[in-house]
Chain A
Amino acid sequence: MERLPYILVIAAWAYVTLGHLLPEVLGPRLVSRSRPVAWFAVAVHLFALALGAATSPHPTGLPEALSATALGLGIAYTWLAHRNMAALGMLLAPLTLVLIGTALVVPHRSVLALEETGYSPWLPIHLGLIFSGIAGFAVSSAVGVMFLWVRARLKQKKLAGLARLPSLEVLDRFQFRAMLFGFVFLTLGIGAGGAWAAASLTDPWALDPKIIFTLCIWAWYGMALQVRLVSGRRGRWTALFSIVGFGGLLFSLVGLNFLLSGWHAYGN
């Protein structure tokens, strides 16, 4: 990955994060510029990813995966900032920053199967859908954390500072929509991955740990939606499903490929 644009992106997200977490350091005037700075970060990030795809022989390693997820979160941040959900920024901005920072420091490793089969047009479709889905789940879990916090404060009758945050019902609606978005994209991404495997691999139906784990996560989110749509259980239930699901996704994205072998694992 080209480092310079990413350093700019990190600096911009550090600014936005500081504006959310320690606004008194920046002062109200500088904090009010967070939104254009986030737009700038997203634009540079898009450019950096496109540059990487155009110049790197293996643009699909772990750093790119993290970077694409961070971009999805960045886009979600700018979108939510326009939807009167700016308070969510205090969760999304640091998460985006951490993901980009990690993308810069982890060693570049390509997926083994790619090193063997080379590039396929199905690949960007598969990855684009999967990472859009992950971004949706990330937003859902961030909203879920905030939902649980606001709910706990209401139950404890500690209301100071709540007026600046979105209402419980708005948070619940958003966490559900983001989860639904993530689920649809993950489903399509898994389908596109299957199409790529069928076109490129000698044994496309050979399951590896990553696929099994991803299918488990897909089933988990499917169950979360089922619980909400069929039994009507919402709010805290959706939030807990979302947070646990995203934890599993992060593990699948970063940890699993190092721990287990299989053709989805990272090579050197």
Chain B
Amino acid sequence: MATSRPLVAVGLSHHTAPVEVRERVSMDPAGVKRVLDRLRDQRILREGMLLSTCNRMELYGVVEDEAGLRSFFNEYRGPTGEHIDRYLYWKRDRDAVYHLFRVACSLDSLVLGEPQILGQVKEAMRLAEEHAAMGQILHPLARRTLSVAKRVRSETDIGKSRVGIGNAGVDLAIQIFGSLSGKRAMLVGVGEMGRQVAQALLSAGLDELLIANRTFERSVALAEETGGTPVPYDKLEDYLARADIVLAATGAKQPIITAEMVRRALRTRRYHTVFLIDLAVPRNIDPGVDDLEEAYLFNIDDLSKVMEQGKRAREEAARSAEKLVSEEADRFVQSLRTVDINDDLARMNAVAETIRVAEVGRSAKLTRGLDEAQLEQLDKLTKSMVKKVLHRQMMAIRMAAKAGDQDRVEALLDPWKEEG
């Protein structure tokens, strides 16, 4: 990447700044637009994209005036009036590309692998595009960022497991049923943990939630809150046969759902699978239920294991993803060099053409007697000579760029810059 147009990523995130600082720099789409317009109008950035979420504020841009960019950030103050310099990180060229890829792939997120960040990056790209702040560098970078994020999602398990007890329950239900559409769950008891799992199941597409509680009024209250259906507690066994998922979270001191009850329910439901989650301690569901062929019982410890496994799986996936992202960053920077060199080579050609035209013009005495066809011939001849002379030089520049030898590229281009 030519040093004359550095790609910079500058910003702060939950890694470097507390929430009191983050909330001061956070901005809505209108604020993003104002900043992008201002930085472009003041010729601080040639291209720019601003990502503002609750956990980060980052500006990606092709910088024309770095001092101007520093003073722009100096305008922001922390809660005690301090400069926000101390919270900022500056990344350049390859590091900036690598950072954006990591952010979009959720490798830099507070919750590793969370999917929302990619949507936020896309929104930042859309805003930048809308305000014509994307150009020769940021356009391909945006495209590549999305394709890298897609690769990471499809080639690693980074997004496969989620956090929280509710999501652990959803993951298990999906592993058993594939989809929650058309499924009915029954929540027995209205404790906090049961609510959490039930809410997560509803958010994941569960069709119907039945709620049974010793105090019917509390079932009704929760049903109103969640859109569920209250059912009488003394009809628990009848409703057991109708539920694909059973969540038990009562304060009962002994099992309220026995293996025999589940056996009868399975027979009634023609052996369609039932998934039971026992969130209570002491346990509400007889452990013998798990011995039944079509019943899958998980207790609170099993769910903790699911969460722990999910965490480990995400960390492992993150290691593979980091490698992939690093390779992609190298590849992108390599392709960007070609873009930069193409600009420089076009400028070389233009300079050479100016010299050629000037020299032909200076030989007017010699060319005066030539007719139009002869002049055209002369034009062709001189163009061909220039092209041949330039060819070797251009090849050398391309080779140096390909090898990443930026110093040699600069040295070879130097005389042409002076000329320009």
Residues of A within 8 A of B (CB): 28, 32, 150, 154-155, 157, 159-160, 162-164, 166-170, 231-236
Find out whether the CB atom of A163 lies under 8 angstroms from the CB atom of B175: yes
The reply to whether the CB of B417 lies closer than 8 angstroms to some CB of chain A is no
Q: How far is the CB of A171 from chain B (nearest CB, A)?
A: 9
A263 to B177 CA separation, bound complex (whole angstroms): 48
Q: Per a CB cutoff under 8 Å, which of A155, A163, A164 touches B296?
A: A155
The reply to whether the CB of B302 lies closer than 8 angstroms to some CB of chain A is yes
Residues of B within 8 A of A231 (CB): 270-271
Residues of A within 8 A of B174 (CB): 167
The reply to whether the CB of B354 lies closer than 8 angstroms to some CB of chain A is no
Residues of B within 8 A of A167 (CB): 174-179
Residues of A within 8 A of B38 (CB): none
Find out whether the CB atom of A164 lies under 8 angstroms from the CB atom of B160: yes
Q: A157-B302, A163-B161, A235-B293 are in contact. List 16 more A-B contacts (CB 8 A).
A: A154-B175, A160-B309, A160-B312, A163-B157, A163-B160, A163-B171, A167-B178, A168-B178, A169-B176, A169-B177, A232-B270, A234-B272, A234-B294, A235-B271, A235-B294, A236-B293
Within 8 A of A (CB), among B266-319: 270-273, 290, 293-294, 296, 298, 302, 305-306, 309, 312-313
A159 to B174 CA separation, bound complex (whole angstroms): 12
Residues of B within 8 A of A233 (CB): 271
Find out whether the CB atom of B296 lies under 8 angstroms from the CB atom of A28: no
A34 to B415 CA separation, bound complex (whole angstroms): 51
A236 to B291 CA separation, bound complex (whole angstroms): 13
A169 to B245 CA separation, bound complex (whole angstroms): 13
Find out whether the CB atom of B298 lies under 8 angstroms from the CB atom of A157: yes
Find out whether the CB atom of A235 lies under 8 angstroms from the CB atom of B273: yes
Closest 6 CB pairs of A and B: A232-B270, A167-B178, A163-B160, A170-B178, A232-B271, A28-B155
The reply to whether the CB of B324 lies closer than 8 angstroms to some CB of chain A is yes
What interface size band does chain B fall in?
20 to 34
Residues of B within 8 A of A169 (CB): 176-178, 273
Within 8 A of A (CB), among B121-172: 151, 155, 157, 160-161, 171-172
Find out whether the CB atom of B176 lies under 8 angstroms from the CB atom of A164: no
Q: How far is the CB of B218 from chain A (nearest CB, A)?
A: 31
Given contacts A160-B309, A163-B313, A164-B160, contact A154 B176 (CB under 8 A): yes
Q: How far is the CB of A148 from chain B (nearest CB, A)?
A: 12
A232 to B268 CA separation, bound complex (whole angstroms): 10
A159 to B303 CA separation, bound complex (whole angstroms): 11
A133 to B179 CA separation, bound complex (whole angstroms): 30
Closest residue of chain B to A233 (Cβ to Cβ) is B271
Residues of A within 8 A of B294 (CB): 234-235
13 contacts between A and B (CB under 8 A): A28-B324, A159-B305, A160-B309, A160-B313, A162-B175, A163-B161, A164-B157, A164-B160, A167-B174, A167-B175, A169-B178, A231-B270, A235-B273
